[in-house]
Amino acid sequence: MTDRTPTRAEGEKILQAFIPRMGRRYAGGRNTDHGPGAHKAVSVLSPYIRRRLVLEADVVAAALAAHGPEDAEKFVQEVIWRGYFKGWMERRPQVWQSYRSGLEGDLTAIDRDRRLRRDVQRAVDGQTGLDCFDAWAAELVETGYLHNHARMWFASIWIFTLGLPWRLGADFFYRHLLDGDAASNTLGWRWVAGLHTRGKPYPADAQNIATFTAGRFTPRPSDLAEVTQGLEATEPEGLPPVQPLRPVTAPKPGRPTAL
Residues that bind ligand FAD (CB under 6 A): 30, 42-46, 49-50, 78-79, 81-82, 85, 147-148, 151-152, 155, 173, 177, 179-181, 184-185, 188-189, 192
CB of 79 to ligand FAD, least distance (A): 4
Q: Which is nearer to ligand FAD, 85 or 136 (CB)?
A: 85
Is the Cβ of residue 130 or residue 149 nearer to ligand FAD in the bound state?
149
Which residue has the CB atom at the shortest distance from ligand FAD? 188
Task: Compute the least distance from the CB of residue 166 to ligand FAD, in Å.
Answer: 9
Q: From the CB of 111, what's the least distance to ligand FAD, in Å?
A: 25
Closer of 113 and 152 to ligand FAD (Cβ): 152
Nearer to ligand FAD, 42 or 130 (CB): 42
Q: Which is nearer to ligand FAD, 24 or 82 (CB)?
A: 82
Least distance in angstroms from the C-beta of 103 to ligand FAD:
15
* Nearest distance in Å: CB 81, ligand FAD: 4
Q: How many CB atoms lie within 10 A of CB 201?
A: 21
